A = this chain, B = another copy of it.
């Protein structure tokens, strides 16, 4: 395996390029959200709960492209802070329904303008149109895998 091939792998590897970008980008958001004590991962989860109240875990994990068990553990962090509540399902006692609490809603509202600040900073780096393109292609990439 010569140097040229290695260079090509580094330049083209989808996993590497995506992981690196998401590391750096996440740091910007995490920094901006710091006053709320939220990480961007947690903020994204809160968005989901506002969008889809009482959703079930498996369903949510599917939607987020996240392993069930990952979601489970990420939820526990939010639960410990009292930002979400977990309630056993009525019909099916295996199911857990997730609901955002008033406290969770408060923190979420507080976080929203901070999120926007990070978003502007990151998107500003390449321009809104370029990001719109990129987002579309990312979605089609994801769609091809699920």
CB neighbours (8 Å) of A18 from chain B are 18, 21-22, 25-26, 138
Query: How far is A11 from B133 in the complex, measured between Cα atoms in Å?
Result: 12
Q: How far is the CB of A101 from chain B (nearest CB, A)?
A: 15
Tally of chain A residues near chain B (CB < 8 A) = 61
Total copies of this chain within the assembly: 2
CB neighbours (8 Å) of A11 from chain B are 135
Q: Is the interface of A mostly helix, strand, loop or mixed?
A: helix
CB neighbours (8 Å) of A15 from chain B are 22, 25-26, 28-29, 40, 44, 118, 122
- The B-contacting residues of A in range 1-47, CB under 8 angstroms, are 1, 3, 5-7, 9-26, 28-29, 40-41, 44, 47
